[in-house]
Structure 1
């Protein structure tokens, strides 16, 4: 199935009666219409304004728009990963006035058929959700892994002062027992060597999955090529025998207001002391030159959520934005 200027929804099998929808490939000229449709999405943490231009340039990604009477009412992005076996669905958004009308389902089916025709080796569709999955969802999806979501906010200037007051031993065990190594920053060659060694990362990565800023990847050479093109700070506690690993995106602006930034940290591992140590190391590095407000979202092993949340509130003095929620990576077969 080729995407021309538009393809009518009625070409899709088993589609709801959305005969007034057309589908087009997104272009730079659609940016303002997409932003107008996406106002207030994700509580002001929308990443798309910063990444839209990059998305259009990615050769393994296609951004599809749904239009109604010529007006953009929905967007979906599909990325081919895992050596061409997985379709990653990302960035779904539907205009407020069109929600609850089946538009998202029609758009997803269109994307699946388009991908299957272009990439016949694709077997599964993966996506990441931030809500609780119920019986209805488990009829459609298999759960791959899940992480707890910790969302905090702070002024960068306040946090820098607090970190300076705490000193370099902040986050270490109260009994004085310190980890054998300080956090290790990995260069690209070290990242590939470590994350492509399944034996070394078997007990660190959740279900052998690298989840980076909501994107789930299998540890494969082709996926590492994708990840290493991004601005990511890779860290482990020990490069020869890791117990905890973390990936931190470099801060970028979000449309909450002037001088608001978003910082995303994906933590893998179960050792609280090592998690806190790497968490603080990322904060020190990535807020050192910032001025303004920061929304920091940390993904971590669910049992670690409460102690890390307590540490953020009591030791760092930052504001907890919301209570416990989960990031769930799910997949379904493409037939």
Structure 2
């Protein structure tokens, strides 16, 4: 059952009046106020301006706002996935002046109760984190999988030239520029990513992680992913050892000519991972102009050799050192 975005969100459950918070479903009219509250979040690399409109249209997703004295001070998005058994929690943000006051906890509890009321079959809450997990987190969450995060920065025009030079050098020395990378159409991706081979042998703990969103390989989840702008790639369309998903580049607020490019790669073969990484870069730098922040998510042991490849071969800038993306879940109580 979907909550209509034009209606106020019922207060479920009722919270003590001393919280001073009111909860509503987000609408298009709230966009400017939310952006003002979120200003400078993620260092100007916020994805929400690009995703907000589509979030409001997604079935089984609710974007909930917390208000204080009528002003938006926090946001949370919850989306029901996995055939109605899991709620995906994402997008949490709190206005700077309200942080450290317990607002996030109150909003999260409200969203949990709302999900249970609207979707009684939901059993699990799942999210991704990129901060260091502590002892209290291990008491609260189960870790599903981890991926290393390699964050690099470059100008699209410069990288396009370097990739062309690299291809030219390979040909000059008798090598092949044909990568072991097969771009899949939607029907091929649907079939292959639901197959036992890729689920058991390639996906980390049988989980598809697309741009921070973790899904079980189920037909209903593939239907969700099919509506997104994603490149699906494997090294072999019959028996893949490496698979990857590349989210199409999107603008970020840091500047007019700044884009974000997210690439999720699954598998442990360094050469195949590197080749698919290059294939995605070639495909998107061909049309991009300006500055690109590229996040590559990959098996943690491959982080260092890929970082060295980026520095020494591609000549791109590493924005920061090794960090991890952790997919965690807990029982919805």
> Could you tell me the TM-score, scaled by structure 1's length?
0.93
Mapped pair 1:160 → 2:160? yes
CA contact 1:22–1:66 (8 Å) conserved in 2: yes
Gaps in structure 1 of 5+ consecutive residues:
none
**Paired position in structure 1 for 2:245:** 247
- Using the alignment, how far apart are the partners of 1:10 and 1:197 within structure 2? 41
**Paired position in structure 1 for 2:193:** 195
Gaps in structure 2 of 5+ consecutive residues:
none
**Paired position in structure 1 for 2:226:** 228
- Using the alignment, how far apart are the partners of 1:168 and 1:97 within structure 2? 54
CA displacement at 1:5 relative to structure 2: 2.8
CA contact 1:6–1:22 (8 Å) conserved in 2: no
**Paired position in structure 1 for 2:74:** 74
Tell me the number of residue pairs that the alignment of Structure 1 and Structure 2 aligns. Answer: 327
**Paired position in structure 1 for 2:119:** 119
Cα-to-partner distance string for 1:294-314 (whole Å, 9 max, x where unaligned): 000000000000100010010
CA contact 1:249–1:264 (8 Å) conserved in 2: yes
CA displacement at 1:9 relative to structure 2: 8.2
| Closer/same/farther in 2, CA of residues 240 and 180 from structure 1, 3 Å limit | farther
Instruction: Give runs of aligned pairs for residues 270-281 of structure 1, distance below 5 A.
Output: 270-281=268-279
- Using the alignment, how far apart are the partners of 1:229 and 1:209 within structure 2? 19
CA displacement at 1:10 relative to structure 2: 7.5
- Using the alignment, how far apart are the partners of 2:177 and 2:282 within structure 1? 19
**Paired position in structure 2 for 1:143:** 143
> Could you tell me the TM-score, scaled by structure 2's length?
0.94
CA displacement at 1:60 relative to structure 2: 1.4
**Paired position in structure 2 for 1:11:** 14
SS of the residue 1:247 aligns to = strand
Which of the residues 288, 304, 323 maps onto 1:290?
A: 288
- Using the alignment, how far apart are the partners of 1:61 and 1:5 within structure 2? 15
CA contact 1:64–1:75 (8 Å) conserved in 2: yes
- Using the alignment, how far apart are the partners of 1:31 and 1:218 within structure 2? 31
- Using the alignment, how far apart are the partners of 1:181 and 1:258 within structure 2? 33
CA contact 1:8–1:21 (8 Å) conserved in 2: no
Instruction: Give runs of aligned pairs for residues 247-266 of structure 1, distance below 5 A.
Output: 247-266=245-264
| Closer/same/farther in 2, CA of residues 142 and 179 from structure 1, 3 Å limit | farther
CA contact 2:87–2:124 (8 Å) conserved in 1: yes
RMSD over aligned Cα atoms: 2.1
CA contact 1:248–1:266 (8 Å) conserved in 2: yes
SS of the residue 1:331 aligns to = strand
- Using the alignment, how far apart are the partners of 1:146 and 1:6 within structure 2? 35
CA contact 2:163–2:314 (8 Å) conserved in 1: yes
CA contact 2:12–2:114 (8 Å) conserved in 1: no
**Paired position in structure 2 for 1:334:** 332
CA contact 1:26–1:65 (8 Å) conserved in 2: yes
SS of the residue 2:35 aligns to = helix
- Using the alignment, how far apart are the partners of 1:307 and 1:105 within structure 2? 39
Cα-to-partner distance string for 1:133-161 (whole Å, 9 max, x where unaligned): 11111111100001000000000110011
CA contact 2:179–2:279 (8 Å) conserved in 1: no
Cα-to-partner distance string for 1:80-107 (whole Å, 9 max, x where unaligned): 0000000000100000011111111110
CA contact 1:201–1:242 (8 Å) conserved in 2: no
Mapped pair 1:207 → 2:205? yes
